[in-house]
Structure 1
Amino acid sequence: MNELRYVYAVSRPFQAALPKDLLGVAGAPVYALGHGDLVAVVSAVSPDDFDEAPLKAHLENLDWLSDTARAHESVVAALASVTSPLPLRLATVCRDDDGVRRLLESGHARFLRTLERLDGRVEWGVKVYAEAPAQSPDSAGPAPATGRDYLRRRLRERRTSERSWESADVVSRRLHEELARHAEAVRLHRPQQAQLSQAAGHNVLNAAYLVPREESAAFVETVNRLKPEEPGLSAELTGPWVPYSFAGDEDEQ
């Protein structure tokens, strides 16, 4: 069975050569496939892994998914050093080179529109974490004497917890609103689960900001200036990244 084509990103034609040792998914060499005024960066992949049925099974395997995502991102990052790419979704696969050309034709207007919007822009990520409220002094004290005393203690603990989370929500909203003023576009992602982030605390803000590359230093300075100083709150800045969060058509998002 013929090999399939894995498509990493789309860009305008570029003169610089991709690194000779650049390898993609499953260690396959990467190459640029031009068609009209667009270029797709692709590699050959086995149908044993990327045909519809095996791919569906692989996407349930977190180890395989993680390895594929890392390879995908490394190719896009290398491409970003020579042009402004539009990264495609993980596991975008075509039957052959002609299938890649058809992909470029069918999405031509959308690709050009998005490339224009992302040209010279980068993505910065900001996450805010809130630690669980500290245990109240009476929680560590002797056991309640009666059921009524127990219920009163639980009520005080719940109110303390609610006030703490409300405060974290207010602080993160204020930070986000201010950062949004310094960005061309914003995407709010779902809070990240603790087992994935491996960070201390509960993720109360997970946002991406599209910023012109030349304004990145000012954006970073703004983040550092506005980082929450309240006890139990912390902020994390990541980037600059290729703007994955903004790669879809604006109408789709």
Structure 2
Amino acid sequence: MYAAVPDTREVRAALGELRGVSGAPVSLLAAGTAPVAFVVSRVAPDEFDERTLKARFEDLEWLEGVARAHHEVVQTVARHDTVLPLRLATVYQNDDRARRALTAQSRSFTERIALLRGRSEFGVKLYISPTGSTDRTGPAGAAESREGAEGPGRAADASLTPGKAYLRRRRAQHSAQETRYRHAQEAAARVEALAHRFSTHRMRHPAQTGALAGPEENVLNDAYLVPHDRAEEFRTALTGAVEGLDGVRVEVTGPWAPYSFATPSPPPGGETAGEGAAP
């Protein structure tokens, strides 16, 4: 299951030769007179049962491929109509169970799609740049790196001992980092004020860490629901939110299908493993 979407001729035509997870064809699964349908692919039961999925979610290469295929299907459908993305690896054992779930959630899906119609999701992240390369000298080795104790291109005071030169350098780095955090706070306030002018909803996500953030520190990770006719204004305004603030970078991504706003929760009866494929 990829998403819930209005059951229209345009959506059906858009699926065409589209392929999804495991290269499987993508189609719509309808339920009676329900105005919405599931976007689905049929997969081998022994490859997507609960036990197999639990093991496969430890395989990052496999998981990346599935998430990418899921995302491509959702984005393709989103170019033709409002889409309500479902969580990655939402699986039903047969069509009847899927149709019962669709019938049970039809009203909720329809109401949510109406809320999201004419809007897309944009991601906004703020990063603090590192103050410099990792210090490799320490007090004992400071004499080997006199230049830089008071900043790049400036020789250290010859009267300073290696230990004092090292401490001065560390104080300068700490001061620079404090400045970056102040700038990040100001940037976050600017982002919130500017985004409020162009968006209708906001969702706050945890800051990314580790490999996801790279060498920078991610301090803000928000998603905004933006009307299509305000999208370029939103992007332009938010891209300029850090102007004049050294050490802070803003990243604006989108438009995406509204992953962060695709509540309600997964339909009942589905065997779901893993997290949603947010962009």
Please report the TM-score for the alignment, with normalisation by the length of structure 2: 0.77
Is 1:43 aligned to 2:41, yes or no? yes
Q: Distance in 1 between matches of 2:121 and 2:262?
A: 10
Q: 1:224, CA displacement in angstroms?
A: 3.5
d(CA) in 1 for partners of 2:177, 2:242: 22
- Aligned pairs (5 A) from 1:66-215: 66-134=64-132, 137-138=149-150, 141=156, 145=161, 154=170, 157-193=173-209, 195-198=211-214, 201-215=216-230
Please report how far the alpha carbon of residue 229 of structure 1 lies from its aligned counterpart in structure 2 after TM superposition.
2.8
By how many angstroms is 1:246 displaced?
Answer: 0.8
Match of 1:23 in 2: 19
Aligned to 1:243: 258
From 42, 63, 68, the counterpart of 1:65? 63
State the shift of 1:201 in Å: 2.2
Distance 1:153 1:184 in 2: 46
Report the CA distance shift for 1:31/1:241 in structure 2 as closer, same or farther (over 3 A): same
- Pairwise CA distance, 1:155: 5.3
Q: Relative contact order (alpha carbons < 8 A, sep ≥ 6): 1 or 2 greater? A: 2
Deviation at 1:244, TM superposition (A): 0.8
Counterparts of 1:156 and 1:225, CA distance in 2: 28
- Residue equivalent to 1:8: 2
- The question of whether the paired residues in 1 share the 8 Å contact of 2:4 and 2:38 is answered with yes
Partner AA of 2:209 in structure 1: Q
Unpaired stretches in structure 2, ≥5 consecutive residues: 134-147, 266-279
Using the TM superposition, give the Cα deviation of residue 163 of structure 1 relative to its aligned residue in structure 2, in angstroms.
3.5
Answer with 1 or 2: which has the greater Rg: 2
TM-score using structure 1 length: 0.84
The answer to whether the Cα contact below 8 Å between 1:228 and 1:234 also exists between their aligned partners in 2 is no
Question: How far off is 1:151 after superposition?
Answer: 6.1
What are the Cα deviations for residues 53-91 of structure 1, in whole angstroms up to 9, with x where unaligned? 111111122111110011101111121132211110111
Q: Name which of 222, 241, 248 aligns with 1:226.
A: 241
Bigger shift: residues 126-135 or 76-85: 126-135
Greater alpha carbon shift after TM alignment, 13-22 vs 144-153: 144-153
Which stretch of the first structure deviates more once superposed, 159-168 or 64-73?
A: 159-168
The Cα RMSD (Å) is 2.6
Is the partner of 2:22 in helix, strand or coil? helix
Q: Which moved more, 1:157-166 or 1:79-88?
A: 157-166
User: Bigger CA drift: 114-123 or 13-22?
Assistant: 13-22
Letter of the 1:191 partner, please give it: A
Q: Find runs of 4+ consecutive structure 1 residues off by over 3 angstroms.
A: 134-142, 144-160
Aligned residue for 2:137? none
Please state how far the C-alpha of 1:218 moved relative to its aligned partner.
Answer: 2.0
Tell me, which stretches of 5 or more residues in structure 1 are unaligned?
Answer: 1-6
Secondary structure of the structure 2 residue equivalent to 1:107:
helix
Structure showing the higher strand proportion among its residues:
1
